[in-house]
Chain A
Amino acid sequence: DIQMTQSPSSLSASVGDRVTITCQASQDIKNYLNWYQQKPGKAPKLLISDASNLETGVPSRFSGSGSGTDFTFTISSLQPEDIATYYCQQYDNLPFTFGPGTKLDIK
């Protein structure tokens, strides 16, 4: 199975800050990497697919980059509504696997 790691596991930042989360795959997954946002008590929401493709309706302050084994998720200017846990997920190989999540809150 492909193992996904994320760092940091938790992050506290101020409104307006630039926030970066990294995700690493245990083997090359090309660009088959998605990012999800999950708010407390809610289902996950797909924000970015194929490592860098912003989903329709997702604010442009969210972005993703990377390929192979190393990926980055960025919020360019943190907003209060961005408080959530963020997960990466690979779909290069079965079983599809998620990272352990990064919990983001406001400082």
Chain B
Amino acid sequence: EVRLVESGGDLVQPGRSLRLSCAASGFTFDDFAMHWVRQAPGKGLEWVSCISWNKNNIVYADSVKGRFTISRDDAKNSLFLHVSSLRAEDTALYYCAKGGSHVCLSARFHNWGQGTQVTVSS
């Protein structure tokens, strides 16, 4: 059974940083691209970032480019999102999601974690 478990969310002040983690199990992690998707309170879904299976393709939404960094550790079956220069509008539940194949463009999100909450407030 595929399982994705996010952690690392917190209440932080504007301008600060966090590292979000996603522990994966139940599938061959290094065969798949992995994504982050976020959802602001009471709002819809926003795709944030993707890293391909071999780390050669990394893409970001314009809203986070230059501030967020996606990475993965295949030895630990883990996905990360380093979020920096946080703004109030980054407040959201951050989900990790398994992609449909090894490339980012196969963005069928078959499996999701339960999310980790990031709240940016002074």
Contact = CB atoms under 8 A, between A and B. Distances in A.
A95 B61 contact: yes
B113 to A, nearest CB: 7
A96 B115 CA distance: 19
B105 A100 contact: no
* Interface SS of chain B: loop
B70 to A, nearest CB: 14
B114 to A, nearest CB: 6
A49 B59 CA distance: 22
B59 A94 contact: yes
Contacts of B62: 1, 95
Interface stretch (B18-26, B42-50, B71-79, B84-92): B42-50
B8 interface: no
A96 B108 CA distance: 10
A91 B106 contact: yes
Contacts of B27: none
Nearest to B96: A43
Nearest to A100: B44
Interface string B91-122: 00001000010001111111011110000000
Nearest to B107: A91
B104 to A, nearest CB: 8
A36 B44 contact: no
B109 A34 contact: yes
Interface residues of A, number: 22
B108 A95 contact: no
Interface of B: 44-47, 59, 61-62, 95, 100, 104-110, 112-115
30 contacts: A1-B62, A34-B107, A34-B109, A36-B45, A36-B109, A38-B45, A43-B95, A43-B113, A43-B114, A43-B115, A46-B109, A49-B100, A55-B110, A87-B44, A89-B45, A89-B107, A89-B109, A91-B106, A91-B108, A94-B59, A94-B105, A95-B59, A95-B61, A96-B107, A97-B47, A98-B45, A98-B46, A100-B44, A101-B44, A101-B45
